[in-house]
Amino acid sequence: VLLLLHVIPVLVLCFQVSLFNFVFLITWALALPYAQFRPLASSICTVWTCVIIVCKMLYQLSSIDPKDFSSNCTLPEENETKVSLEELKTSVLYSGPVDPAEWVGLRKSHPLLVYLRNNLLMLAILAFEVTIYRHQEYYRCRNNLTAPVTKTIFHDITRAHLDDGLVNCVKYFINYFFYKF
């Protein structure tokens, strides 16, 4: 379950491809194979999500006009490209002014909550993850328990128990899957 909490933020933001979200992709690509970096990745993603939310809200100010930053691209000549003229005319690049802020991940949006929905969802997931980890740590501290040595579900099942029966075999493969992913 906790591993899904690490993967969900990346999946949530796959629907919104931008330079802002590239940070999440890089952070989790580096942190998922190494469990010791996951708390750091969660912290980085939490702070970065807050920065994105603030930037998106600031971009909604009436003093920021996307037309000031937009530029029109000129159509290339027929001998400069292999793409047909009809395809070029229907391209978003040549149909009107192009706002470079959209490439970064900013755009004007009137229902602001809908625009921020993915980022707020990701922030909630990351807060939920931190709550789970803190609760586990507090529970262990309060009951004088140590953290499990192996990050598995069934701590007493090893490779030696694989042939002891179907239940132990299933437990071993659950541990193996949990360890790998």
Written as tens digits, the pLDDT of the chain (181 aa) is 555 555 666 666 667 778 888 888 898 888 878 878 888 988 998 999 999 999 999 999 999 888 887 877 777 776 777 777 777 777 777 777 888 888 888 989 889 998 898 889 889 988 888 888 888 889 989 999 887 776 677 777 877 877 888 888 888 888 777 766 5
Q: Is 55 helix (H, G, I), strand (E, B) or coil?
A: helix
| Cα–Cα distance, 12 to 28 (Å, whole number) | 13
Q: Is 175 helix (H, G, I), strand (E, B) or coil?
A: helix
Catalogue the long-range contacts made by 20-26 (C-beta closer than 8 Å, 24 or more residues apart): 20/48, 20/52, 20/55, 20/104, 20/105, 21/105, 23/48, 24/48
| Cα–Cα distance, 14 to 122 (Å, whole number) | 12
pLDDT value at residue 2: 53
Residue owning tokens 């931190």: 130
pLDDT value at residue 3: 54
pLDDT value at residue 4: 57
Number of other residues whose CB lies within 10 A of the CB of residue 39: 13
pLDDT value at residue 141: 92
pLDDT value at residue 161: 78
